[in-house]
Structure 1
Amino acid sequence: MIGAIRSEVRKVFTTRLWWGLGLGMALLAALVAMGFAALVGSDAAGAGDQGGQGNPFARMSIGTAQIVYNAGIVQQMTLLFPLALGVILITSEYRHKTITATFLSTPNRWVVLVSKTVAVAAVGVVYAVLHAAASLAGAVPIISLVKGQDTFLGEPQVWQSLGTGVIAFAVWTLFGFGVGMLIHNQIAATLIAVGATLVVQIALNIVFTIKEWYAALKWIPGNLTTNMLVTSDPTQGQNVDPATAAQYFDHWWQAALVLVAYSVGLAVVGAFLTTRQDVA
């Protein structure tokens, strides 16, 4: 098992794919964080709000810092990178027919799939660290120098939020990996995974909001991810719609458990089907 894991990790980190996507993700993370940081305390951020009530950017707080430093994840834009990487890492083996040699060299397919899962999760961890560093580099100078406000980097909750990003990225990379095991065609798997993240989740958020099924919103993967990262109320002391509170679990680890359960379930189903399929 150790040898198989080492082999799969080498497969990932000896290619240009992981760092190419990683650089693109880091650039986007920095830009999005900069944009969110620019909203802090601005008039535009409170536009349409009565006295800025219910506006998370009215002033810096622990919750606001968690949103700004994880802005790319909260907006689900940077999550597309680990998701796509997870898809490509498994589907490329089928596309280039290397999966045959992999299964022949390690006849026990479950060992191969577990090893690949560990390697994929490891990439997610690396992406999480890269994302956090890029977001801080983009947001902190604006908050501190331009806005003249506290960065809240001395607060444990802010660092906990950044650390929880490790779980988020590992899970979303596994989401892509699970989709890739279910759908071996690389283009189709990537489009379906990205489409489900962007279109389906947005549609569900709209439908649930229109129907006023606010409690159902907490079960959507993107909202679960935000629930994990933003653990402090950024509008504390302001008037907040009670319906907003119903959209989140009371504790971040509850959201994390549900999100992990989603990824594990998808990965197990994909792995089971893969062990039953022939390879050319």
Structure 2
Amino acid sequence: MGNLIKAEIRKTLTTKSWWGLMIPAVLFAFLFAIGWGAGTNDVNDVLSSDEAQELAQLTGTQLGQLPVGLLALGHGINIGMMFPIIFGVYALAGEYGKKTITTTFLTAPNRVSALSAKMFTYIGWGVAYGLVIVGSASLATVLTVDSIGLPSAEQWLAVLGAGVLATVLATLFGVGVGAVWKSVVGATITLTIWMLVVENTFLFLTAGWEHLRFLGGVLPNGTLNGIVGAIGAEAFGAAGLSVQGDMNEDLQWLLQFIAGAPGAFSWWASALVFLTWTMVFFVGGWAANQRRDIT
């Protein structure tokens, strides 16, 4: 297995995809965090005075002292996670496209070993993507958010851990989708349209139906975003389905939306649900590749 993992690492390093996707991941994370960071200092202006007072009472803080930097971090990291997903698609779909999958399967003891090596290799790549994406978003947050609105050290560590976990799962999700689809172009276009357009539009349009607001906590993009975004929502007392304290449900959903996690239950629940989505595609791709003809 060790030799197979080394072969996978060398194989990936000989391509341009790992750095070609890491560069825009860092840039998008930085730019989105910069944009949100510049606006979050005045986040209370978005709320009416009554809502702002209610929020302060529920979170036990004074207005102007909320950790609004979590909002910038959440949005920056979440947009950056699209790129490790696409990178993961290349793991198997890319090999089918380049006709190298035959060599990969024939030089391994069996296909299970080859796919396991890919899994372990791309977990490592997911960690690498997570560190640089979180680092980029963190730098942008520090540069734009007032010191009083920056997260605490504990919250920052939570974001780091959640961000790395999210990028690992995102990468494996991409591996699974690519394994099922067997086409880099098809999988990438479909995932991008679904994750960035279709699902977000659907959640926004259904926001007025209270009985449908839970969908953000179970659909793929919503749960992936919720791993990090729910940390910000929790800091504002707005995570979960049940209304906390006397917070009205509209305000709760608005705060979840601003945090980048509409409908999220909690960060760990989002991680478990997205892990389920990842396993569905990963196991499906695993099973499909046991039977595929590679000649």
* Superposition TM-score, scaled by structure 1 size: 0.86
- Select between 197-206 and 177-186 the one with higher mean Cα deviation: 197-206
Counterpart for residue 248 of structure 2: 241
Identity of aligned residues (%): 26
Cα 1:106–1:148, aligned 2, differ >3 Å: closer, same or farther?
closer
2 CA distance for matches of 1:40 and 1:121? Answer: 33
- Counterpart of 2:126 in structure 1 is 124
- The 5 A counterparts of 1:1-280 are 1-42=1-42, 45-46=43-44, 49-51=47-49, 53=51, 59-62=64-67, 64-74=68-78, 77-143=79-145, 147-152=146-151, 154-212=152-210, 213-229=212-228, 230-232=230-232, 233-236=234-237, 240-242=247-249, 244=252, 247-249=263-265, 251-280=266-295
Query: Kindly tell me: are residues 239 and 149 of structure 1, through their superposed partners in 2, closer, same or farther at Cα, counting changes over 3 Å?
Result: farther
- Does the CA contact (< 8 Å) of 1:86 and 1:120 recur in 2? yes
Q: For 2:215, give the aligned amino acid.
A: A
- Deviations for 1:95-147, whole angstroms, at most 9, x for unmatched residues? 1110001111014101111111111221111011001111122120222xxx4
Structure with a larger share of its residues in helix:
2
Report if aligned partners of 1:41, 1:60 keep a CA contact under 8 Å in 2. no
CA-atom RMSD in angstroms: 2.6
Contact 1:46 1:52 in 2 (8 A): no
Contact conserved, 1:40 with 1:59, CA < 8 A, in 2?
no
Displacement of 1:234 in angstroms is 4.3
Quote the Cα distance in structure 1 between the aligned partners of 2:283 and 2:223. Answer: 20
- Whether contact under 8 Å (1:125, 1:170) holds in the other structure is yes
Structure 2 portions without partners, runs of 5+: 57-62, 239-244, 254-261
Residue type matched to 2:199 in 1? Answer: Q
Deviation at 1:94, TM superposition (A): 0.8
| Structure 1 residues 187 and 248: CA distance shift in structure 2, 3 A | closer
The alpha-carbon deviation at position 240 of structure 1 amounts to: 4.0
Unaligned runs of 5+ in 1: none
> Partners of 2:167 and 2:129 in 1: how far apart?
7
Check whether the contact 2:203–2:213 (CA below 8 A) recurs between aligned residues.
Answer: no
> CA 1:166 to 1:107, structure 2 compared with 1: closer, same or farther past 3 Å?
same
* CA deviation profile, 1:15-43 (whole Å, cap 9, x unmatched): 3221121111111111111111111233x
**Which structure is richer in relative contact order (CA contacts within 8 A, separation 6 or more)?**
1
